[in-house]
Amino acid sequence: MSVIDQALKANRLYAQKYDPKLGRHPQPRLAVVTCMDPRLSDLEGILGLKNADIDVIRTGGPTVTEDVLGELVVSTRVLGTKEIMLLNHTGCGFTTFTDGELNAKFTEVTGDSTPAPMRFFSYKDPEVNTREQIRKVRSHPWIAKDVPVRGFIFDVDTGRLQEVIVAEEKKLEKMAA
Ligand SMILES: [Zn+2]
């Protein structure tokens, strides 16, 4: 049986016990931008929040694209989330290749070069990635200045979160200069 057929079968049982109250208008409190990696899927467990409290925006990496910025504007200004969390992780697959390598690989395996160069948003360092995301989100004119924007790295070996601080880095840069 295909995975989707298996899921459809399970859904029939799920619907029998479904609480219709869950279909009411959502009122999430936190917007989380995180990677498509399945190890980041248990956000209830990782963050100790209810699914209903979390507005989840997922991309590879994660990457804060123009689309993600639009979703954050909607999340904070329409759905009413109060804070933004940028959730990166160790061991991300997107650090294991470059966009150039992937474009070359897919051109070769498919024999079709028309979609290249495709943006895959590969990166090398989750800390650098997180800092760039924080700056990008904080500087967006449509994201209110009083919405906290904080970045973290989830350690896939320990399950712990480590915060990435941008302000301190600026201070350190000043001291070094
Ligand atoms: Zn990842």
- Read off the pLDDT of residues 49-63 as tens digits, 9 standing for 90 and up: 999 999 999 999 999
Question: Percent of the chain at pLDDT above 90?
Answer: 90
CA of 164 relative to ligand 1 center, distance in Å:
16
E strands in the chain: 30-35, 54-59, 83-89, 149-154, 161-164
Question: Residue 171's pLDDT is what?
Answer: 57
Amino acid at 11: N
- Tally of CB atoms within 10 A around 13: 9
CA of 36 relative to ligand 1 center, distance in Å:
6
Regarding pTM above 0.85, the answer is yes
For residue 167, name the pLDDT band (cuts at 50, 70, 90).
confident
CA of 21 relative to ligand 1 center, distance in Å:
33
- Read off the pLDDT of residues 126-166 as tens digits, 9 standing for 90 and up: 999 999 999 999 999 999 999 999 999 999 999 999 999 98
CA of 116 relative to ligand 1 center, distance in Å:
22
CA of 22 relative to ligand 1 center, distance in Å:
29
